[in-house]
């Protein structure tokens, strides 16, 4: 029998795990020290430690195994949840109150989920200095000697403290005052927009975007009315499509 305190902890863990997994995945992208271009330069930080990726893989295995177990145990009709962190955790969240009362291994499930959250959270003490530009657009700069009309294509990274963007491959840099110029090249609005406008851009329901904000998948810009960076919304759509 699961006590109420443990049940609440498991619920919170399942709500947090998708965001924790996303953070580690971003760190893995950030820590990749070389791009695809021949002009690649070393990054300013070491590669993401394999331990975090191992924990990510093991955690995914744990949650996926439990989702399949519950599906078979309850003889659920229909398909298993889509293979994304969000869908699997939402599935487990939905059925957790029932399984906490009826599943013979509910205590084992609770213990493993809390372990998953603890292991994923343990990697978040690393300071994030550089992050990929939301949506991960490719560097548009055309350099002398490049094929006519073909941009660099390197990964664009934003410094989280000083707020400027640079290409990891060619080293091109855009200061904050130049974001409009970069946005024109990329076709991405660098300014915060109302959530209704962001939802319209992304072609998603406003309630979906509000849910992402509630889950802290999207961080709104301070002030009223509520505004968000459209690039953040585009990045979240991409992560959900890729099952991150």
Q: How does DSSP assign 33-85, residue by residue?
A: ---SSTT----SSPPPPHHHHHHHHHHHHHHHHHHHHHHHHTT--SPPPPSSH
* pTM, full prediction: 0.48
Res. 21: pLDDT tops 70: yes
E-strand spans in 66-216? 130-132, 156-159, 165-167, 173-174, 192-194
* Cβ contact 155:140 at 8 Å: no
Provide the pLDDT for residue 69. 95
Highest mean pLDDT among 3-7, 49-53, 199-203, 237-241: 3-7
Query: Average pLDDT, stretch 78-84?
Result: 86
CA dist., res. 166 & res. 158, Å (int): 7
Interhelix angle for 206-214 vs 230-242, to 10°? Answer: 90
CA dist., res. 171 & res. 139, Å (int): 10
CA dist., res. 98 & res. 104, Å (int): 12
Res. 73: pLDDT tops 80: yes
Give the three-state DSSP class for 244.
coil
Upstream peptide bond of 80 is cis (omega within 30 degrees of 0): no
CA dist., res. 134 & res. 230, Å (int): 9
């Amino acid at each position: 029998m699961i006590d109420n305190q443990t049940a609440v902890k498991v619920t919170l863990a399942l709500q947090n795990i998708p965001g924790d997994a996303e953070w580690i995945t971003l760190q893995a992208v950030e820590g990749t020290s070389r791009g695809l271009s021949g002009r690649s330069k070393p990054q300013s930080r070491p590669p993401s430690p394999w331990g975090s990726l191992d924990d990510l893989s093991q955690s995914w295995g744990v949650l996926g195994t439990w989702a399949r177990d519950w599906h078979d145990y309850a003889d659920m009709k229909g398909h298993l949840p889509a293979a994304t962190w969000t869908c699997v955790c939402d599935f487990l969240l939905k059925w957790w109150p029932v399984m906490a009362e009826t599943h013979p291994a509910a205590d084992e499930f609770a213990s493993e989920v809390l372990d998953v959250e603890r292991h994923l959270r343990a990697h978040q003490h690393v300071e994030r200095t550089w992050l990929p530009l939301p949506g991960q657009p490719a560097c548009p700069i055309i350099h002398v000697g490049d094929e006519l009309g073909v941009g660099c294509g390197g990964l664009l990274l934003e410094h989280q403290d000083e707020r400027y963007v640079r290409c990891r491959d060619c080293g091109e840099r855009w200061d904050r005052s130049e974001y409009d110029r970069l946005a024109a090249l990329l076709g991405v609005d660098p300014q915060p927009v109302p959530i209704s406008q962001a939802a319209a851009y992304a072609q998603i329901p406003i309630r979906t975007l509000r849910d992402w904000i509630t889950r802290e998948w999207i961080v709104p810009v301070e002030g009223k009315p509520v505004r968000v960076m459209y690039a953040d919304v585009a990045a979240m759509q991409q992560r959900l499509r890729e099952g991150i």
